[in-house]
Amino acid sequence: MLKGVFISLSQNQLLTTAAKKYGLKLGAQTVVAGTTVEETINSIRKLNALGISATVDNLGEYSIEREEALEAKASILEVIESIHTNGVDAHISLKPTQLGLDIDYDFCYENLLEIVAAASKYNMHINIDMEDYDHLQPSFDLMDDLLKEYDNVGTVIQAYFDRAQDDLEKYKDLRMRIVKGAYKEPIEYAFQTKEDIDENFIKLIEYHLLHGKFTSIATHDHRIIDQVKKFVKENNIPNDKFEFQMLYGFRKDMQVDLAKQGYNFCTYVPFGDDWYAYFMRRLAERPQNLNLVVKQVFNK
């Protein structure tokens, strides 16, 4: 039930706007790297020093005005330049709806094209994050169109969708991130139980490890991570074919341990003032994260 409450809260426009105005609150600062590019580069430097790379997300989604999407594009271009100038180990994750997918497909494509072109100059990867089901096929279409011109693009497969295996087979020659899926999706096309989602998640990871180009296994679930470690060992899959990913601020000790054990590790680093929806989705996934909120409120 709590999951539904937090997902609804994440979609509340009024609260999103208020949150932007009043800065990082409610404990969000523990899971958001900063509000400026400079703060974010500093956070990435600290991760790099621990042997961890970063994928940087300029927070924000569902732009309804062209202006918002253009501002987001400018901010992402600034991050790409800063990553390059500062020589930090990082690439970009972005959300098509932030860059105008709900406004106009071609407008969004042009925004993405400019970003992918800028990153390609520095051999930097661009990951297209996957949002809800309504945006799934349009996001794949965007990637297909971008791949006609550039090869530094990949996306995400959400294991809760029953079409996930077909999508993964289609994109086996790409660098792909595999996740369980963060949105609330209906039974018509999405697995609903934890058992079914976990089973499909493992199946997809193993498929891409065996047949895919490069696999980003994005999860905080130690049981899945242990299974992957066993699978790669048994199948002689070298460490340079995959990486583990977790979100900034979550299971920090485990992130460092995995990097120390010699696995490639990449932290998803969100930054910016549009933190509210991101933070609500994290609460939806794991209501224990409410502890973060409670601690912040009482530690004033």
Residue stretches of the annotated binding site: 95, 130, 158, 180-182, 194, 219-220, 281-282
d(CA 288, CA 244): 22
Does 219 bind ligand FAD (CB under 6 A)? Our answer is yes
Q: Which long-range contacts (CB under 8 A, 24 or more apart) does 134-139 make?
A: 135/96, 135/97, 135/101, 136/161, 138/96, 138/101, 138/105, 139/96, 139/101
Let me know if 129 is a catalytic residue: yes
Cβ neighbours, 10 Å, residue 201: 25
Residue 89 known to be catalytic: no
Supply the minimum distance, in Å, between the C-beta of residue 172 and ligand FAD: 18
> How many Cα atoms occupy the beta-carbon half-sphere of 67 within 13 Å?
1
Q: Give phi and psi for 90, each to the nearest 5.
A: -160, 155
Q: Which is nearer to ligand FAD, 81 or 196 (CB)?
A: 196
- Does position 218 interact with ligand FAD (CB under 6 A)? The reply is yes
Q: Does the footprint of ligand FAD cover residue 129 (CB under 6 A)?
A: yes
Q: Does 285 bind ligand FAD (CB under 6 A)?
A: yes
The sign one gets for the Cα dihedral 286, 287, 290, 291 is: negative
Q: Estimate the share of the chain in helix, then strand, then coil, as percent rounded to the nearest 5.
A: 55, 15, 30
Q: Does 61 bind ligand FAD (CB under 6 A)?
A: no
Does 245 participate in binding ligand FAD (rule CB under 6 A)? yes
Q: Which of 129, 167, 198, 274 is catalytic?
A: 129
Q: Which stretch binds ligand FAD (CB under 6 A): 2-10, 63-71, 139-147, 242-250?
A: 242-250
Residue 81 vs 254, nearer CB to ligand FAD:
254
Q: Which of 7/88 has CB closer to ligand FAD? A: 7
Length of the chain (residues): 300
Residues that bind ligand FAD (CB under 6 A): 129-130, 156, 158, 179-183, 218-221, 245-247, 250-251, 268, 285-286
